[in-house]
Amino acid sequence: MLHIINHSRDNTMRNPDEPSSIPTLHLYLLDSDNPRPCILILPGGGYHHLADHEGEPVARWLNTLGIHAAVLEYSTYLSLTAADRIDGIAPTSSGHTPAMPSSAAAFSEKDSITTPSRSPVDLSVNKDQTSTDARQATASSASLLIDPSERLQETEEALRLLRQYADEWTILPQQIGLIGFSAGGHLAALTATIGHIRPDLLLLAYPVITFHEPYTHSGSRLHFLGASPEPQAIEQYSAEQQVSESTPPTFIWTTADDASVPAVNSLLFSQALVAHHIPHELHLMESGRHGLGLALEHPYCRQWTELAASWLGRHGYGQQARTLSDMPSDVPADSPQPNVAASSQADNVPVRPNQVLSGKIATTSTSRPTLFIAGDSTAAIKGASEKPMSGWGEYLQPYFGEAVTVANHAINGRSTRSFLAEGRLQHLSSKLQPGDYVLIQFGHNDQKADDPARYTDPDTDYRSYLQQFIDMIKQRGAAPVLLTPVSRRRFLPNGIPDPQAVGRYPQAMRQTAAALDIPLLDIFAASQQLYATLGEVDSRELFMHILSGQHPNYPDGIADDTHFSVQGAQAIAELVISAILQHPGLTALHSCIRHSPVHTV
């Protein structure tokens, strides 16, 4: 059963009693007497969930280009196991929700389309049977909830409906495109290459393309093919292997340092398109985390929408290219909108022109100041296989908007000693420009006395290594900023946070800052105050506490009072921004902060 919800009719929400496991086509049609192109949107989410910021906001942006849009709420792990969760299994604590819009029109019986029923399937490969049709590929996992070919059928059915009702919905049936984000990009690429019903045009945003190691996204492959897929299935559902002369023109963008889905995925698909002489553009941005969506708050990745609009215009889709500033104010964004505008000085920082090359890599650079982060796992960007674990450094960029670029070089498991020994500070320093800032926060791994590669004595080695950080950063004309290590969640019997939760390292950081006259942000003290305010029980929500069977990344559950949940990382990021705003030595950054933090915990 495929539901249709037409958001251009009225604002009635879908009946909450409807089974959430039924795929749904959400229509965002323009009020137009003349037929227009239409683009179907497939949000990402690793086939586990659907990322809401890659759904309706993208549709509203396409509407500003004069293009009809539709969002397919296709089957995911969460939707297929919804009945089990209703029966008592706890919902995921990933912090993500299905790509449901803020409003939906009433559902009627005529809006239903019958599709094959689904149940857990055994997809063991018969090695004596071969097929040239990639749709026959199978995987060897009895726990797989949906056959891979059925995922394609959902997208094909959506495309079929858009063409079938083209007259009623004023759609140009020969101009129906498809855009996919992350895992949705994988589904879009497969539909465009091996689908029985294919789009006329394809756009891919930081897509999963290959299921081959070492570049695959393991979570997407797990939920698409199961835990132990056969080599034949891996090959046949790797989209770069399925490109042919009939693949439609394609637009691709990604970032060079995507930590979740390596940029090689996009390069592999581009290489295959070149080999088959398919017109396409590939834009490889210098830096940006995975899952940016429209990237409204990213200083230069946000340009992808302008590049895509221009490309769509050249292919006869939509009006003249529109910038994000042209979007109406009520269009939802994929990250919080600022309450206070940045200073005019910050808004007028020049940006170098972007280079647009058909079928080639286009890189984007900016002359805005950069705020670097050197630290450990409490600040680091987490990959999809680690989510919902998050680092506080992942949530700083929205506060700065276009005024400052945040470059997160924090990495799991590092101490001051190992960060230096691995050449990471030298690499970071090579990117520094005068006027940049570097936030330095270590301590958790410096505590590991049983690991000589990481341990530092807080009164000697630790302070000596911090001195090396400071000297190298100053030599490049940048400004070091010391942060005391964020506290672990550890309470004493009397109910107050343990002041020794990170040993003597917070005090050593304070002493170093005072001795060398370096700005200090006391995040240890601020985080302890936050935990004390929440209390021992409620503060657990800030950390990685997941029950067994609650999340596929942690099948046995996890109880971790060092690493943060999405909610916890956002709360610590707010503490960092508050500390910057309160520090008299960082006034140059004050005017760059777009809005003041408001705790959501």
Among 79-83, 321-325, 347-351, 485-489, which stretch is predicted with the lowest mean pLDDT? 347-351
Q: Structure tokens of 522?
A: 């006391």
pLDDT per residue as tens digits for the range 233-269? 999 999 999 999 999 999 999 999 888 899 999 999 9
Strand ordering across the sheet containing 68-73: 3-6, 24-28, 68-73, 36-42, 171-181, 201-205, 250-255, 280-285
Task: Compute the Cα dihedral for 506, 509, 514, 517 and give only its sign.
Answer: negative
pLDDT per residue as tens digits for the range 559-593? 999 999 999 999 999 999 999 999 999 999 998 99
Amino acid at 234: I
CATH class for domain 370-591?
Answer: alpha beta
272 touches 304 (CB < 8 A): no
Chain centroid offset of residue 477 CA: 32
Minimal CA–CA distance to 185: which of 108, 260, 107, 297?
260
Higher pLDDT residue, 163 or 100? 163
CA distance 19 to 578: 43
- In this prediction, residue 83 has a pLDDT band, given cuts at 50, 70 and 90, of low
Phi, psi of 149 (to 5 degrees): -65, -30
Q: Is 370-591 in the same CATH topology as 3-79+147-315? A: yes
Query: Which H or E element spans position 6?
Result: strand 3-6
Residue-level pLDDT at 296: 84
CA distance 302 to 307: 10
Q: How do the residues of the chain divide into helix, strand and coil, expressed in percent and rounded to 5?
A: 35, 15, 50
35 touches 170 (CB < 8 A): yes
SS3 assignment for 190-219: HHHHHCCCCCCEEEEECCCCCCCCCCCCHH
Residue-level pLDDT at 77: 86
Given a cut of 90, is residue 403 above it in pLDDT? no
Cis peptide, bond prior to residue 458, ω within 30 of zero:
no
pLDDT per residue as tens digits for the range 407-464? 999 999 999 999 999 999 999 999 899 999 999 999 999 999 999 999 999 999 999 9
Q: Return the CATH architecture of domain 3-79+147-315.
A: 3-Layer(aba) Sandwich (3.40)
Given a cut of 80, is residue 84 above it in pLDDT? no
Annotated domain spans of the chain: 3-79+147-315, 370-591
